[in-house]
Amino acid sequence: MALALPELLKNVFNFLAKDNVLYPTLLVSRLWSRCTGPILWGRIELIGLTDHSITKIAKKCDKLQFLDIGFGGDITGKSFCEIARSCNGLKHLGISGYRNHVTDSIVHDIARSHPNLQSIDIRSSSRLTDTAIYTLTDLCPNLRSLKLEYCDGINDIAIRKIAHCRYLEHLELYSIKALSDKSMCIIARSCPDIQYLNLQFCNITDKAVEEIALSCHNLKHLDLFGALHISDSSISKIAKMCPNIIYLDLGYTDLIFDRTLKTIAEYLHSLEYLGLKGCRRISQKIIDMLFPDLEIGGYYSLPLGR
């Protein structure tokens, strides 16, 4: 059966939904604008708005799939509740930076209304407790991305529940002091598809990193900056067993030696960034020899004359 003109236009425009190529179609005619609008406004990132603005957007854009209002301005829990009620097709939600407004009950409303949510960013939400994590992992098991930086009210047992999200690809636990080796091992074994892992300033040891090496072979981004208890033995295993890594930050991991860099150079052929700030046991000479063209983060902080 032949397609009606609006249907045909939508099919064509869906193929063109990349870069800025669709924006001029808004000006062609009312028909073209009606067909293009839902495609263009499926993803919105906003800064500096208020509850009134967010409420209007949530009510009007019921097909919204991507909404990021992290650190976005004078917004309270009222906006988040309206988003939960109105945006039924939401796949990504970014509400980081609202320390006093993102609560367990708001996370519960969002998770209950959006069981197919794939990505949520709730960094710097200091009022969240274990309840929020239990809710998210129980009601949104298909999460691909979870960002929990500076969520200080969450304990280790709740963090362990992240292992229920078996399709997880992106996980940020920056500065979550409660994270233990045991919990990180459970997550690594249960979520082998993780590609992006941020463990800056976490109190993990070689045991957790070795499990990551054994389980997460698709890893591309590993940030261990400030993980003070990591040594060259676990990093060597990461290099040998996770060959796809392009970003590796080992800043202030004090037990990294020149031999570790030799292993990294031998196995990580796709590496684009290596963070070595504060790694005082390695030499500039070995770096210059092994990584002449690589971006080295913190290179200036290496001890001189070695």
Q: Is residue 26 domain-shared with residue 64, that is, in the same domain?
A: no
- What is the per-residue DSSP string for 164-204? G-TT--EEE-TT-TT--HHHHHHHHHH-TT--EEE-TT---
Q: Is residue 133 domain-shared with residue 151, that is, in the same domain?
A: yes
In a domain, 88, yes or no: yes
Structure confidence at residue 303 (pLDDT): 45
Q: Is 139 helix (H, G, I), strand (E, B) or coil?
A: helix
Q: Is residue 152 domain-shared with residue 53, that is, in the same domain?
A: yes
Q: Kindly state the helix (H) or strand (E) to which residue 120 belongs, with its residue range.
A: strand 119-121
Q: Is residue 48 domain-shared with residue 32, that is, in the same domain?
A: no
Question: Which tokens hold the place of 137?
Answer: 């992992």
Those residues of the chain that have pLDDT short of 70 are 1-28, 30, 32-48, 299-306
Strand pairing category for 92-94 and 221-223: unpaired
Structure confidence at residue 58 (pLDDT): 84
pLDDT in tens, 144-173: 999 999 998 999 999 999 999 999 999 999
Neighbours of 180 (CB within 10 A): 19
Domain that holds residue 33: 8-37
CA angle 64, 68, 74 (to 5 degrees): 115
In a domain, 3, yes or no: no
Q: From residue 297, give the alpha-carbon distance in Å to each of 31, 233, 270, 275.
A: 51, 21, 16, 4
Domain count, the chain: 3
Distance CA 123, CA 174 (A): 9
In a domain, 27, yes or no: yes
Question: Which tokens hold the place of 92?
Answer: 């990504």
Q: Is residue 263 domain-shared with residue 286, that is, in the same domain?
A: yes
Structure confidence at residue 304 (pLDDT): 41
Q: Is 286 helix (H, G, I), strand (E, B) or coil?
A: helix
Structure confidence at residue 306 (pLDDT): 40
Structure confidence at residue 284 (pLDDT): 87
Distance of CA 128 to the CA centre of its chain: 18
**Residues whose CB is less than 8 angstroms from the CB of residue 261 and which lie 6 or more positions away in sequence, other chains included:** 282, 286, 287, 290, 291
Q: Is residue 23 domain-shared with residue 56, that is, in the same domain?
A: no
Burial label, 245 (beta-carbon count in 10 A; 0-12, 13-18, 19+): buried
Distance CA 6, CA 2 (A): 12
In a domain, 268, yes or no: yes
Bridge partner residues of 49 (DSSP): 73
Q: Is residue 12 domain-shared with residue 60, that is, in the same domain?
A: no
Structure confidence at residue 22 (pLDDT): 62
Inter-residue contact 83 to 60 (CB < 8 Å): no
Q: Kindly state the helix (H) or strand (E) to which residue 66 belongs, with its residue range.
A: strand 66-68
In a domain, 290, yes or no: yes
CATH number for the domain spanning 262: value is 3.80.10.10
Cα Dmax for the chain: 77
In a domain, 173, yes or no: no
In a domain, 1, yes or no: no
Q: From residue 58, give the alpha-carbon distance in Å to each of 73, 84, 164.
A: 16, 9, 30
Inter-residue contact 265 to 244 (CB < 8 Å): no
Burial label, 264 (beta-carbon count in 10 A; 0-12, 13-18, 19+): buried
Q: Is residue 127 domain-shared with residue 185, that is, in the same domain?
A: no
Bridge partner residues of 93 (DSSP): 67, 120
Q: Is residue 33 domain-shared with residue 91, that is, in the same domain?
A: no
Among 137, 167, 197, the domain-final residue is: 167
In a domain, 305, yes or no: no
Q: Is residue 197 domain-shared with residue 88, that is, in the same domain?
A: no
Q: Is residue 27 domain-shared with residue 65, that is, in the same domain?
A: no
Rounded to two decimals, the pTM is 0.83
Distance CA 59, CA 76 (A): 16
Structure confidence at residue 1 (pLDDT): 41
Burial label, 27 (beta-carbon count in 10 A; 0-12, 13-18, 19+): exposed
Q: Is residue 153 domain-shared with residue 198, that is, in the same domain?
A: no
